[in-house]
Structure 1
Amino acid sequence: MAGVTGGDAAPVRVLIVDDDALVRAGLSMILGGVPDVRVVGEAADGAEVPAAVAAYAPDVVLMDIRMPRVDGLAATEALRALPRPPEVLVLTTFDADDQVLRALRAGAGGFLLKDTPPAEIVQAVRRVAAGEATLSPAVTRKLITHVTAAGPAGPDPRRERALRLLGGLTEREREVAVALGRGRTNAEISGELFMSVATVKAYVSRLLTKLELNNRVQVALLVHDAGLV
């Protein structure tokens, strides 16, 4: 995970993946003027992502969804299966519910729409590099709508799986997981649960290992699937 603040911290290395050359140029301009972020490469299709990641070693991949050969969702799934994958921040004009959920379940650390203001895109890159979830307000609303509309009439395998996994947590781990499900930051969890931010980070790392998940967004989705928030 790259350092994202501080004078001597290494800049966040970003790979931009989009089939529109103008979009790639615009994102490069936005991120190019930020001292703690460095655009290290570009790709025009999901099929080019594995080679680009191997060549440029990015910390964060800014990933479009709609691309002609391999879409961003398939590319994200492939990336997150790597032993040491970069973080993925999906940036798209397309925000259908199934696309949002598939991206997040695949391990994307964030999902933003392309009309997001430049300053917020920069901040999202920093947050994703630091392991923080980043969702645009529109995407968050869709996720909440999906969860609240998901009340099953019969057995729900996804809910049963989520309850089984979360049932193996300690009480404190479960409290942290539920806080993640509510979208809380590390600082907010620290204040709510009366523990240091460093301790919160340790709990989040423990949860990811114990639940075999890639990032805190997936923990949040698991908590939602279990119906705990």
Structure 2
Amino acid sequence: MRILYVFPHPDDESFGPAPAMAAQRRMGDEVFLLTLTKGEATKQRFRLEVSKEEMGKIRFKEMQCVQEVLDLNGMAVLDLPDSGLKEMDPADIENPIQEHIEEIQPDVLITYAVHGISGFEDHLVSHAAVKSVYCNMKREGKEYPRRLAFFTHYNEEDGEGKFQLSSSNKEEIDCWIEANEKDYQKFLDALDCYETYQQVIEDSNVKEEVGQRVPFEIFQENFDPSLSDLGDKIGS
């Protein structure tokens, strides 16, 4: 199974889905990552006293560490404007996403759920852009992707982190990927790659919010009981 994750920023892949990505690699899936921006607009650049361009280079280097830790089969980082996706012509976001999909030809395409978990605007725009590309490709009769899934969050209780997180309803979750201890350690190691973001990681309480069961919604498909693998029953 070939899987492509599409997120707007560096660290999005590590703030949640990383245990699932590690589990998928362990189970033999090919896992690829496309990041739309270099994350250059982060406020951490003021603390570090660097320009946006320099911050983008720092974050790209941190992502290269993540690629190695998670044993990704491929990673690409675009140069769209961090925190500026909402001001863009949607076609200028969707076109490079589709080009990358056509290059990778994934069976499963993954991005954020509609609420974006954190509610950050770039997360919401990314959801809309990826879903639009997927639907357009389906209408064009493209063979790939065969399934669109949304990484999401589920917690029956409010978290204790600095950021207010949105969750999907339990009945909306179609797949839970189980990570083992080694997978979960890779998630922790991936977070450690972001040396400039350690205070944000601590403030977010992400290490406590993310467990070894990672939830996903599946677009226009409903499974009850839920699946344990995003490749299960694909095309059925």
TM-score by length of 2: 0.35
More strand by share: 2
Structure number with greater Rg is 1
More helix by share: 1
Higher relative contact order (CA 8 A, sep 6+): 2
